Chain A
Amino acid sequence: MSATEPHPWLAGALVPGRFGAAAGEPVRLGTRACELVQVLARRDGDAALQAAIRAAGGPDLPPPGHAAQGERMAALWTQPRGWLIQAGPDAGLARRLADACGPAAAVVEQTHGRCVFTLEGAHARAVLARLCRVDLHPRAFGPGRVAVTPLSEIAAVIHQTGAAPGFDIIVASSYARAVAGMLAAAAAPIGYQVGGDQMGGDQMGGDQMGGDRVD
């Protein structure tokens, strides 16, 4: 299974179309196809990890609560000296980073271990606020911010990708189906759209939504 294929756990969970409240502007709900790699600096490995990330086209590793976008990949802070690296599909990222880091860092492939949902639109903040307790007001949170926090009862990484606003919501793949249902239920009173304008027949909406980053 490559990164561009939909997560099998999600089969049939997100169907293209418009759902929930019919009036007003819907939020857009989908998934993002990308490579994910968890990196953890080992003792005295910080400089070597940073050098490997930079050499691979990544950014300066961001401080707590922040994400940074590099030329070829983004880094999301998830814990002290630990980041989630996110890159385009099929980048073969984990292998290259592991080779570059050597013993300086623990590099763990997470592409299929996690699932990335996208939630975008003027009312995305209101939908997310039903499920998580982080202060999402623009004065407290904004593009490039990251929070590791439970979404309802499920561990999640929330990453604001754009000012629209747009959010990436990263959860364990085994919870993806539950989170898809949770997001749909939270978005229903506002109305939500799965998939783009040109809806394909056999593809999940998530693939059509997983295009360019908002930022």
Chain B
Amino acid sequence: MLLIRCPVCAMDRPELEFRHAGQAHVARPADPGAVDDAAWAAYLYLRDNPKGVVAERWRHVHGCGRFFNALRHTVSDRILATYPAGASRPEVAP
């Protein structure tokens, strides 16, 4: 079981208090009417799938209920950092 540090509660909590909520830092086009279908489809459906460190949204659904972001290594499954939603991705050594 992973221990995940919720940046809102400021406590380490077990993974089963959380829900994964997809890739982080996916920006919605500011003017959807101005992008073509391919760009809109890319925004809706295309996600990275790297081997290594990914930035993901997680939600502390059985605690404070808030969304935050986490850096997770897809090989080791280790959570390397958690940070508030809206903050920029921190630098960490993988």
> Could you tell me which A residues sit within 8 Å of B by CB distance?
64-65, 78-80, 133-135, 147-150, 155
A147 interface neighbour in B11, B16, B66, Cβ under 8 Å:
B11
Q: Are B10 and A65 in contact (CB under 8 A)?
A: yes
CB-defined contacts of B62 to chain A, threshold 8 Å = 149-150, 155
Q: Are A80 and B11 in contact (CB under 8 A)?
A: no
Q: Are A135 and B10 in contact (CB under 8 A)?
A: no
Q: Are B63 and A64 in contact (CB under 8 A)?
A: no
Q: Mostly helix, strand, loop or mixed at chain B's interface? A: loop
CB-defined contacts of A78 to chain B, threshold 8 Å = 64
Could you pull out 18 A-B pairs where Cβ atoms are within 8 angstroms?
A64-B8, A64-B9, A64-B10, A64-B64, A65-B9, A65-B11, A79-B66, A80-B8, A80-B66, A133-B13, A134-B11, A134-B13, A135-B12, A147-B9, A148-B9, A148-B63, A148-B64, A150-B16
- In the complex, which range does the number of interface residues on chain B fall in? 10 to 19
Leading 3 A-B pairs by shortest Cβ distance: A133-B14, A79-B64, A148-B63
Which positions 59-83 of chain B face chain A at CB distance < 8 Å?
62-66
Q: Which residue of B lies closest to A133 (CB)?
A: B14
Q: Are A80 and B64 in contact (CB under 8 A)?
A: yes
CB-defined contacts of B9 to chain A, threshold 8 Å = 64-65, 147-148
CB-defined contacts of A135 to chain B, threshold 8 Å = 11-12
Which positions 1-32 of chain B face chain A at CB distance < 8 Å?
8-14, 16-17
User: A80-B66, A147-B11, A148-B9 provided; 16 other pairs, C-beta below 8 A?
Assistant: A64-B9, A64-B10, A64-B64, A79-B64, A80-B8, A80-B64, A133-B13, A133-B14, A134-B11, A134-B13, A148-B63, A149-B17, A149-B62, A150-B16, A150-B62, A155-B62
- What is the distance, in angstroms, from B42's C-beta to the closest C-beta of chain A? 33
CB-defined contacts of B66 to chain A, threshold 8 Å = 79-80
Q: Which residue of B lies closest to A135 (CB)?
A: B12
